[in-house]
Chain A
Amino acid sequence: MTFTTPTFLIFLLVVYVLYWSFARRGKNNIILISSLIFYGWWDWRFLTMLLFIAGIDYCVALWLMRRDIPWQRKLLLGVSLTTNLGALGFFKYFNFFAGELTTFLGLPINTTAYATILPVGISFYTFQALSYTIDVYRRQLPAVGNVVEYFSFITFFPHMVAGPIQQAKHLLVQFHQERHFNMERSSDGLRQMLWGFFKKMVIADNLAPIVAASYGDIEGASGRALLWATYAFAFQIYCDFSGYTDIAIGCARLFDLHMTRNFAFPYFARNIKDFWQRWHISLSTWFREYLYIPLGGNRYGVKRAAMNAFIVFVVSGFWHGASWNYVIWGALHGTYYYIYTQWIDSPRNRSSIQDKGVQSGVVEWLSMFITFQLVCVAWIFFRAESTHAAVTILNKIGNALANAEIGFPVFNVFRWVILLLVVEWFMRHAAHGLSIANWPRPVRWCIYYVIVTLIILHGNVGYTPFIYFQF
């Protein structure tokens, strides 16, 4: 049951009606039951595993509240870490490590016999559950005794499958509070969902075949085609993932639940540091909170901080998938970040830039352009089938650029990309692209009708899974 099907819309309608018919406890029960149905619809086999992992964390947190002896607390935390990361490691990385080991040792092991199916959403709900137990361990959050509240937080269906990853101290506490229907919030939630549907169905799903045509036949594709396919992928993944997030956040708002922002118009970033404050914010926040700071953060100087950041980027790359491509993608961003923080963003450089007053519009546009190009280079590794393929793509693009063979291809879908950029530029200080609550109603409704019509006429209705479902 993906978001872009009538089944989900009917499901949402039923859940919405039931939810607002009950008081707080009833609301949480409805959320929990509907979330279990939602997840079970994907694959009922992994529902048990989800409940088991979440159950372990629930018990661990309660025991942590009752234990003061450090080694016992560390042991309990270790149980939670082992369960969550163990499950994640097994389902996500077993095939990868088995394959690498087989190749390295030259052993005739048939790894396909042990090939595992990746449970939907495992990368997201394990991190979410870990955030809970770690916060309880750190005494930043009391353990929740109410089973329904806890499981509702873990399984909450809008963000279950592909985030945004919510910290317990933000989302879990909301299940304990009374929720009131608010027309303005619900309306804005629907607006955000509409914008998400537009980005996903009209832009991302129509860009997908363009990308697949070139990336699926690298030998046959020209450098020019690969260049534009890379740009297309940059917008495909952005619209796909941010579209999903918008739908998830908007959906949550219908239930008067607030989820943290996940994207802040990342392709308007002026530098790589800015980019990572705008892209997949929930994951960056999680890694900062639970990996970067424990590694030392920036407490030991700028160089050490940059190294810690590099490690986080590599781990983040590996989180995306069991492939060296993702690791290289993470390492590239880590390198960009290191270079930026060490040389470009250094206090000496910053002051000299300010002294010369070069923070002009041209420099700003140039910064955005360069940042976008750097991000696209990294996307090549993210999207390519293998490292060798990514290098081939880079070579071909390089040759095309050297020969100035970069004519703009005529793809209808690029007009929607331009529309997206224009709208998001004007809305860059707002929460999402359709934050028009203060506009006159006739104008708002005209815009809604235009967007719905565009979705009906141009939305790709074939089944194109959300990219981040595979993680």
Chain B
Amino acid sequence: MSVIPHLFTSNFESMRTACRWKSRQLRFCVHLCVFWLPFLVLLFVFESTLWRHGEIWPIKRVVEHQNVFPNSIFLRQLFDQRYSNYHYLYLKDHAPDVVALGSSRTMMFRKEMFGDDAQRFRNAGGSLWVASDLNSFLDALPNFRPRVVIFGVDQWWLNADIRAPQSFSDSMRSEDPIFDWRGHVTGCRRFIRDPRAAELLLGSSNTDRIGLAARFSNAGFRSDGSWKLGIPAPTTVGGWRFVDRASVPHRIRIMEPGDHFAATKGVGPSELHQIRRGLMRLKERGCLVVGFAPPFSSESAILMKTLPSQSGLWSEYQERIPDLFRDLDLPFIDASTPSKLGLDDRYMSDGYHAVETLHLHLLLRMLADDRVHRALPSARVAVEKLLRAPQTNYFYVDIAGTTF
């Protein structure tokens, strides 16, 4: 008889003890949740702000949005732009007839320059970083067969001694930093230090501006893949003078060799072979490749010609690249300085990036070749019209009566 109350008591005690433990654990968990709540709220606010402004949209979403909103521009501020992936994702699902391809020095060709081919134009400038990237690009896009490829060949691609910051392959292999928690932590730090953070938190989104840099600097990639420069045009005649707007002026970059300007003796045979192979593959795919040497400002060109670390490459490039295109029966325009197009440094935004209007002149020079003119029959009329447009200036082309 005395056993039953004992059993009842001991079970009750066990249950009470178990409940006490559970309530302690619960209390502990509640304390933890309360502690982390402010951080979670801040995290939510931060992430939702970035999402609202398109900063952490996956590139695929960006491409789809730009198809629907053709006036939108895209440029991230806190995360890497993923240029190569951006162009790749577009080209994978679309088959443009005319493509501008190369590094950032090819990004200024716009669809309006190509007349009837405007809607079938894509600027894929910024995709390629090193000589081997052309072949990597073609490997990744086996169905890439545009009618015309306007191909800018950078001088440093032929430099066997450069240490390129990245390549097309690297970019394709790496994960978008928006999917990496480390990218968000780094982005959060930059966001906190940005004086415009409050404006972003309270401001509304804009369907035509994808990314914080697009919103603030009014620069970025248009829906045709071309680059919209965010520099306001000078308002006085005297304001039109060359200024090297790079964060580190190019004369310093060229004189203190690093990255693109490592000291070298001349054109690297392996690099030249890569370009040759890539061009032959494009020819086999039925593309007319129109090559050009992107321009340097006069100051940068003089340095490239005279510095012992670069002069060998400069002079060999001038000879061997046109020869290569000639061998392959492809047109090539030497626009290595603005003067070669009858222009001057006012058409340059920095030491080795030219602006829209120079590209218009460049395209006109290309169209002087019958092969190019036959491939782009309505481009010449469009280019000449744009050149004559009243608002076209040294920097910007007058598209439909508007420009900066």
A binding-site residues for B, Cβ under 8 Å: 5-6, 20, 180-181, 183, 186-187, 190, 445, 448-449, 452, 456-457, 459, 461-462
Compute how far the CA of A434 lies from the CA of B21 in the bound complex, rounded to whole angstroms.
26
Tell me the minimal C-beta distance from A253 to chain B in angstroms. Answer: 12
B binding-site residues for A, Cβ under 8 Å: 21, 24-25, 27-28, 31-32, 35, 38-39, 181-182, 185-186, 188-189, 192
Q: Could you pull out 27 A-B pairs where Cβ atoms are within 8 angstroms?
A: A5-B181, A6-B181, A20-B25, A180-B21, A181-B21, A181-B24, A181-B25, A181-B28, A183-B24, A183-B27, A183-B28, A187-B31, A445-B35, A448-B35, A449-B38, A452-B39, A456-B39, A456-B185, A456-B188, A456-B189, A457-B189, A457-B192, A459-B185, A461-B181, A461-B182, A461-B186, A462-B182
Residues in A neighbouring B186, C-beta threshold 8 A: 461
Tell me the minimal C-beta distance from B16 to chain A in angstroms. Answer: 14
Compute how far the CA of A6 lies from the CA of B182 in the bound complex, rounded to whole angstroms.
10
Query: Which of A5, A6, A183, A461 has most chain B Cβ within 10 Å?
Result: A461
Residues in A neighbouring B32, C-beta threshold 8 A: 190
Compute how far the CA of A448 lies from the CA of B38 in the bound complex, rounded to whole angstroms.
12
Interface of B (DSSP majority class): helix
Compute how far the CA of A2 lies from the CA of B181 in the bound complex, rounded to whole angstroms.
14
With both beta carbons as reference points, the residue of chain B lying nearest to A441 in the complex is identified as: B31
Compute how far the CA of A456 lies from the CA of B21 in the bound complex, rounded to whole angstroms.
33
Sort A-B residue pairs by CB-CB distance and give the 4 closest, nearest first: A461-B182, A461-B185, A183-B28, A181-B25
Contact of A187 among B25, B28, B38, B185 (CB under 8 A): B28
Residues in B neighbouring A5, C-beta threshold 8 A: 181
Please name 5 further chain A to chain B contacts, defined as beta carbons within 8 Å, in addition to the given A181-B21, A186-B28, A461-B182, sorted by A numbering.
Answer: A181-B25, A457-B192, A461-B181, A461-B185, A461-B186
Residues in A neighbouring B28, C-beta threshold 8 A: 181, 183, 186-187
With both beta carbons as reference points, the residue of chain B lying nearest to A449 in the complex is identified as: B38
Compute how far the CA of A186 lies from the CA of B29 in the bound complex, rounded to whole angstroms.
11
Tell me the minimal C-beta distance from A282 to chain B in angstroms. Answer: 28
Compute how far the CA of A5 lies from the CA of B189 in the bound complex, rounded to whole angstroms.
18
Residues in B neighbouring A187, C-beta threshold 8 A: 28, 31
Residues in B neighbouring A456, C-beta threshold 8 A: 39, 185, 188-189
Tell me the minimal C-beta distance from A416 to chain B in angstroms. Answer: 16
Compute how far the CA of A457 lies from the CA of B186 in the bound complex, rounded to whole angstroms.
8
Residues in B neighbouring A457, C-beta threshold 8 A: 189, 192
Residues in B neighbouring A461, C-beta threshold 8 A: 181-182, 185-186
With both beta carbons as reference points, the residue of chain A lying nearest to B39 in the complex is identified as: A452
With both beta carbons as reference points, the residue of chain B lying nearest to A190 in the complex is identified as: B32
With both beta carbons as reference points, the residue of chain A lying nearest to B20 in the complex is identified as: A181
Residues in A neighbouring B21, C-beta threshold 8 A: 180-181
Query: Which of A5, A183, A462 has most chain B Cβ within 10 Å?
Result: A183
Tell me the minimal C-beta distance from B78 to chain A in angstroms. Answer: 14
Residues in B neighbouring A181, C-beta threshold 8 A: 21, 24-25, 28
With both beta carbons as reference points, the residue of chain B lying nearest to A457 in the complex is identified as: B189
Tell me the minimal C-beta distance from A70 to chain B in angstroms. Answer: 48
With both beta carbons as reference points, the residue of chain B lying nearest to A7 in the complex is identified as: B181
Residues in A neighbouring B181, C-beta threshold 8 A: 5-6, 461
Tell me the minimal C-beta distance from A462 to chain B in angstroms. Answer: 7
With both beta carbons as reference points, the residue of chain A lying nearest to B28 in the complex is identified as: A183
Compute how far the CA of A371 lies from the CA of B27 in the bound complex, rounded to whole angstroms.
46
Compute how far the CA of A78 lies from the CA of B244 in the bound complex, rounded to whole angstroms.
75
Compute how far the CA of A462 lies from the CA of B182 in the bound complex, rounded to whole angstroms.
7
Tell me the minimal C-beta distance from A5 to chain B in angstroms. Answer: 8
Compute how far the CA of A268 lies from the CA of B28 in the bound complex, rounded to whole angstroms.
35
Compute how far the CA of A180 lies from the CA of B181 in the bound complex, rounded to whole angstroms.
35
Residues in A neighbouring B185, C-beta threshold 8 A: 456, 459, 461
Residues in A neighbouring B39, C-beta threshold 8 A: 452, 456
Compute how far the CA of A181 lies from the CA of B24 in the bound complex, rounded to whole angstroms.
8
Residues in A neighbouring B182, C-beta threshold 8 A: 461-462
Tell me the minimal C-beta distance from A275 to chain B in angstroms. Answer: 36
Compute how far the CA of A119 lies from the CA of B184 in the bound complex, rounded to whole angstroms.
32
Compute how far the CA of A6 lies from the CA of B192 in the bound complex, rounded to whole angstroms.
22
Residues in A neighbouring B38, C-beta threshold 8 A: 449
Residues in A neighbouring B27, C-beta threshold 8 A: 183
With both beta carbons as reference points, the residue of chain A lying nearest to B186 in the complex is identified as: A461
Residues in B neighbouring A459, C-beta threshold 8 A: 185
Residues in B neighbouring A452, C-beta threshold 8 A: 39
Tell me the minimal C-beta distance from A206 to chain B in angstroms. Answer: 13
Compute how far the CA of A183 lies from the CA of B21 in the bound complex, rounded to whole angstroms.
9
Residues in A neighbouring B31, C-beta threshold 8 A: 187
Compute how far the CA of A462 lies from the CA of B39 in the bound complex, rounded to whole angstroms.
21
Tell me the minimal C-beta distance from B340 to chain A in angstroms. Answer: 41
Residues in B neighbouring A448, C-beta threshold 8 A: 35
With both beta carbons as reference points, the residue of chain A lying nearest to B21 in the complex is identified as: A181
With both beta carbons as reference points, the residue of chain A lying nearest to B36 in the complex is identified as: A452
Tell me the minimal C-beta distance from A182 to chain B in angstroms. Answer: 8
Tell me the minimal C-beta distance from A12 to chain B in angstroms. Answer: 12
Residues in A neighbouring B25, C-beta threshold 8 A: 20, 181
Residues in B neighbouring A186, C-beta threshold 8 A: 28
Compute how far the CA of A456 lies from the CA of B193 in the bound complex, rounded to whole angstroms.
13
Residues in B neighbouring A462, C-beta threshold 8 A: 182
Residues in B neighbouring A449, C-beta threshold 8 A: 38
Tell me the minimal C-beta distance from A32 to chain B in angstroms. Answer: 22
Compute how far the CA of A183 lies from the CA of B32 in the bound complex, rounded to whole angstroms.
11
Residues in A neighbouring B192, C-beta threshold 8 A: 457
Compute how far the CA of A190 lies from the CA of B35 in the bound complex, rounded to whole angstroms.
12
Tell me the minimal C-beta distance from A81 to chain B in angstroms. Answer: 43
With both beta carbons as reference points, the residue of chain B lying nearest to A20 in the complex is identified as: B25
Compute how far the CA of A445 lies from the CA of B37 in the bound complex, rounded to whole angstroms.
13
